[in-house]
Amino acid sequence: MSRLVLVDSSDQLPGLLPLHAWSALMASEAVLVGTPTHPFVPHLDAAGLRYEVVPAADEVSLSRSDLLGGVSPEQKGRAEWIVARTHELGEVAYLHGPGDHEAFTRTLGMTAARAQIEVEVVYFGAAPKGVRLLELVDVEARLRGPDGCPWDREQTTASLIPYAVEEVHELAEAVAAADDDAIREELGDLLLQVVFHAQIADDEGRFDIDAVAGGIADKLVRRHPHVFGDATAADAESVMARWEELKAAEKPERNGPFDGVVAGQPALPLAAKLQQRAERHGLAAPTAAEAAEAARRALTSVAGALEGSPDEADDDVGELLFAAVALARHRGVDAEQALRRTAQRFARRAEGPAAAD
């Protein structure tokens, strides 16, 4: 009895097959692929396996079940050719590829079964986490390609910066609202910015997405010797201390305690970062008690200057906010996110009970 083995593959990992799928290919008399550009053809060549490309078939008449199943006359013709070739060779493996949709696979299996050919399906199995990241990379490459989107092709790393900044703020807003659907969506938008920037750099021959991913993966391994090496870490504080030591060794050009702090970031996280750096380097950083006292003094000054000019209150407001950031840090609170959540609650209350509900 003739035998047809249908070997599943992954569209996101077109050049990879698990061991059991490879074994099925190697045990067959020949491997059939749908097109000469099938992504696995180079691998079949390298392995020395005999393979044939299914030729374009004449259109054949369709049965009612074919029509209901969504198969085309050309696909039905290809299925019949594969079945005939299986009869000739005895055992054949058909390796699925891009464009082989469920309707064609179903038709191929049913055509073989009606011809009394034994049909075996070898599934790809569980794909590794992250395969759809490869799909995103392919989509963006297509958008930036010769036949892609005119807007995408016109963008530069500089022109995309406003969008990247906006996406970060939208993600922060979604996190403050604890909206999982929004967080997922905004993470996707932010991920697109990474892939988009990397594709532009790739097009210009500077670097590619693998250099981006490899760089951060290597950094994480280097800076977590307690996970990937022989070092130990008792708690999160020791992890952060070791991180800063390794970072300083990697970037010896940063000599000052505040080198590398981005001055253009929002003021609340800027204040928190400066306080953290000062504390880490043994400089004068406010303790919780000192911050509380500074907040009281600044609040008294601000309240007393309500009738004065804005310039008179400017320093006091700054001191009050700086002290509030220090208090937030000592309580383990992100001041930026806390203020964002409070602002959102205010907006809901201001809009009325219906909005608050």
The residue among 159, 188, 222 that closes a domain is 222
Least confident stretch, 64-73, 127-136, 228-237, 251-260: 64-73
Q: Are 56 and 146 contained in the same domain?
A: no
pLDDT digits over 186-212, tens only?
A: 999 999 999 999 999 999 999 999 999
CATH assignment at residue 71: 3.40.1010.10
Q: Are 116 and 8 contained in the same domain?
A: yes
* Within-domain flag for 10: yes
* Within-domain flag for 307: yes
Q: Are 136 and 118 contained in the same domain?
A: no
Q: Are 141 and 188 contained in the same domain?
A: yes
Q: What is the mean pLDDT of residues 180-184?
A: 96
- pTM across the whole model: 0.66
pLDDT digits over 301-320, tens only?
A: 887 766 666 666 788 888 88
Domain membership of residue 26 as a residue range: 3-122
Positive/negative CA dihedral, 176, 180, 182, 186:
positive
Task: Compute the mean pLDDT over every residue in the chain, rounded to the nearest whole number.
Answer: 87
* Within-domain flag for 343: no
Q: What is the mean pLDDT of residues 272-289?
A: 84
Those residues with Cβ within 8 angstroms of residue 58's Cβ, 6 or more apart along the chain or in another chain: 77
To which H or E segment does residue 122 belong? strand 118-122
Residue 183 has what pLDDT?
Answer: 96
Q: Are 142 and 208 contained in the same domain?
A: yes
More confident residue, 57 or 75: 75
**Is the pLDDT confidence value at 355 over 60?**
no
Ramachandran region, residue 165 (left: φ > 0; alpha: ψ -120 to 50; beta: rest): alpha
Q: Are 15 and 113 contained in the same domain?
A: yes
The residue among 84, 100, 122 that closes a domain is 122
pLDDT digits over 252-277, tens only?
A: 777 778 887 888 888 898 999 899 88
The residue among 101, 122, 143 that closes a domain is 122
Q: Are 105 and 151 contained in the same domain?
A: no
pLDDT confidence bin for 57, thresholds 50/70/90? low
Return d(Cα 169, Cα 352) in angstroms, integer.
25
More confident residue, 281 or 91: 91
Neighbours of 329 (CB within 10 A): 20
Residue 277 has what pLDDT?
Answer: 84
CB 155 within 8 A of CB 143: no
Return d(Cα 124, Cα 7) in angstroms, integer.
7
Q: Are 63 and 168 contained in the same domain?
A: no
Q: Are 28 and 105 contained in the same domain?
A: yes
> Amino acid identity of 61?
S
Residue 354 has what pLDDT?
Answer: 56
Residue 88 has what pLDDT?
Answer: 93
**Is the pLDDT confidence value at 76 over 90?**
no
CB 111 within 8 A of CB 4: no
More confident residue, 146 or 73: 146
Return d(Cα 346, Cα 76) in angstroms, integer.
63
Q: Are 96 and 26 contained in the same domain?
A: yes
Those residues with Cβ within 8 angstroms of residue 280's Cβ, 6 or more apart along the chain or in another chain: 244, 257
* DSSP 8-state secondary structure symbol assigned to residue 94: E
To which H or E segment does residue 80 belong? helix 73-89
pLDDT confidence bin for 71, thresholds 50/70/90? low
Q: What is the mean pLDDT of residues 82-91?
A: 93
* DSSP 8-state secondary structure symbol assigned to residue 86: H
Can you tell me which residue has the tokens 């807003």?
A: 173
Return d(Cα 313, Cα 302) in angstroms, integer.
6
Those residues with Cβ within 8 angstroms of residue 73's Cβ, 6 or more apart along the chain or in another chain: 59, 60, 61, 62
CATH assignment at residue 302: 1.10.287.1080
Domain count across the chain: 3
Q: Are 98 and 143 contained in the same domain?
A: no
**Is the pLDDT confidence value at 246 over 60?**
yes
* Within-domain flag for 236: no
Nearest C-alpha neighbor of 5 from the set 127, 123, 125, 100: 123
Q: In the structure encoding, which two tokens stand for residue 324, read together?
A: 């509030």
Q: Are 75 and 161 contained in the same domain?
A: no
* Within-domain flag for 182: yes
**Is the pLDDT confidence value at 119 over 90?**
yes
* Within-domain flag for 353: no
Q: Where are the alpha helices (DSSP H) in 251-287?
A: 267-280
